[in-house]
Amino acid sequence: MYVKKLILATLRSFAFVVVAATSLASVTAVMSPAAFAAEKPKLSQKVGKPLQEAQQLIGQKKFKEALDKVNEASAVSGKSAQEDQIINEFKISILGQMKDTAGAAKVIETMLAANQIPAAQIPERILLLTQIYFQQKDYPKAIQYGERYVKDSGANVEVMDIVARSYYLKGDFKTAGEQVQKLIKQAEQAKKIPEKGWYELLMSCQFKLDNKVGITTTLESLLNNYPTQEYWRNIFKYLSNEASYSEKETIEIFRLKKALGILEAKEYIDMAELSLAMNDPGDAKAALEAGTSAGVLGQAKEKERETRLLNLAKTKAAQDLASLDVSAAEAQTLPNGEALAKIGAAYLGHGLNDKAIAALKTAINKGSVSSIDEAYLRLGVANLNSGKKADAIKAFQSVSDKSKLARLSRLWIIYAQSKK
């Protein structure tokens, strides 16, 4: 609606006043083009008289009758090029008043083809054609004039947006995606946050092209700039398509979803069962208690099974916790950090974050940790749980870019940055 109003306002600005001077042949441009105001071009009486009458009718808002008079002038044979130009400007103004943007666009195209538009005003007219044809859903022409405008006048956010959306609406999703990526890159280079609509348009292109990795990357950008629970839920749907995750890696994905409060009932159970299988009963107990506290677990249908699983997790967690400090002391004496990294993970599961931080940092420093990226990830979580946001982000950033957990580490950073 805004674009349509802008188009009409622009068209109406191409107004002319016929001035009664020494003859009917004096026409002065009030707003555009400026050259007419300076030159006061001469018109023949056959052309000038109907145009003067048209001007009077415009003042009375009798636009159809005014257009008839302009068409009468247009039908005169032997007109000069300047007379043709003035007649066309009248047509554009009247058609704008009549909200006939399609008709006005055709006149502007005629003037462009006949070189009737002063060079300084061509960009404005090209922009107007771009807007009109997009509003008219003539996407090929919106692209034609939009790309011409950008080529001649430089990058323009509004025009580039129209071009990108035109490509999308005509079904060229690949080019539409490339165009909107230019918009995003331009904003980033200017140190501005790209518009939310651009990311959503890009993601829609990627969806049409079945580009799952691209969708996940765009969702990550949306979470960086416009975080919502819906975007969080969506990114986890696509995360599983990026790689084949081990059971331990899957637990780490569940851990972030649990922190976000979007873990589903089955996932709480899966996390608990996987943690028990990985000899991390503290993680299992914490998952089940969190699910119950959130009201996701404990429903009548599965309550008996969930209660049995929770009781098992509590028993094993108590046994594990009783021997954990002794195991940690023994692991400290070993030459590599493998055993201590597992101890640190266990401390994290039990919610003993300070002990987890100490064990994991020492394990990493010792070296020879087989799952080093998981260790960094858990160190980040332990720091975040302890309110040490800067240390948490540093740990998450230590996860290798080549790791399957790289995306997850970046998501943890986004989550960490959202914490006050």
Helices (H), 60-169: 63-74, 81-97, 101-113, 122-135, 139-153, 157-169
> Among residues 218, 242, 266, which one ends one of the domains?
242
Q: Give me the mean pLDDT over the 198-218 stretch.
A: 96
> Do 237 and 129 have their domain in common?
yes
Residue 165 has pLDDT above 80, yes or no: yes
Q: Is the pTM of this model over 0.85?
A: no
Helix axes 196-208, 157-169, angle to 10 degrees: 30
- Asked whether the predicted pLDDT for residue 48 surpasses 90, the reply is no
Do residues 99 and 134 share a domain?
no
pLDDT for the residue numbered 33:
33
Query: At which of 213, 242, 271 does a domain end?
Result: 242
Whether the per-residue pLDDT at 20 is higher than 70: the answer is no
Lowest average pLDDT, out of 24-38, 289-303, 388-402, goes to: 24-38
> Mean pLDDT across the chain, nearest whole number?
88
Asked if pLDDT for residue 369 goes beyond 80, the answer is: yes
Instruction: For residues 51 and 269, give the distance between their C-alpha atoms in angstroms, rounded to a whole number.
Output: 82
CATH number of the domain that 204 lies in?
Answer: 1.25.40.10
Pair (236, 249) in one structural domain: no
Bridge partners, 28 (sequence order): 17
Give the model's pLDDT for residue 179. 97
| Shared-domain flag, residues 214 and 261 | no
Q: Report whether the peptide linkage leading into residue 50 is cis, meaning its omega lies within 30 degrees of zero.
A: no
Which pLDDT belongs to residue 13?
Answer: 53
Look at residue 29 and give its three-state secondary structure: strand
- Of 265 and 31, the one with more pLDDT: 265
- State yes or no: pLDDT of 7 exceeds 70: no
pLDDT at residue 31 tops 50: no
**230 and 250 share one domain:** no
Q: Residue 366 has what pLDDT?
A: 94
**DSSP category for residue 195:** P
User: Among the three residues 90, 115, 140, which one is the final residue of a domain in this structure?
Assistant: 115
Residue 142 has pLDDT above 60, yes or no: yes
Q: Which residues make Cβ contacts (< 8 Å) with residue 91, sequence separation at least 6?
A: 67, 70, 74, 103, 104, 107
Share of the chain above pLDDT 70, in %: 90
* Whether residue 159 is found in the same domain as residue 234: yes
d(CA 289, CA 54): 81
Paired tokens of 215: 């969708």
For 62-94, letters b (16+ CB in 10 Å) and e give ebebbbebbebbbeeeebeebbbbbbbbbbbbb
Rounded average pLDDT over 72-80: 92
Q: Are 52 and 193 part of one and the same domain?
A: no
Assess whether 283 and 158 both reside in one domain: no
Same domain, 1 and 126: no
Predicted confidence band at 298 (pLDDT cuts at 50, 70, 90)? confident
CB 131 within 8 A of CB 102: no
Q: Tell me the CA distances in angstroms from 310 to 288, 300, 317, one per residue in order.
A: 6, 15, 10
- The answer to whether residue 180 scores a pLDDT higher than 70 is yes
286/235 same-domain check: no
Judgement on whether residues 141 and 54 belong to the same structural domain of the protein: no
Q: Which residue has the higher pLDDT, 331 or 244?
A: 331
Cβ(380)–Cβ(412) below 8 Å: yes
Say whether both 94 and 160 belong to one domain. Answer: no
Total tally of structural domains belonging to the chain: 3
pLDDT of residue 419: 84
**pLDDT value of residue 11:** 54
Residue 36 has pLDDT above 50, yes or no: no
Q: Which domain holds residue 54?
A: 1-115
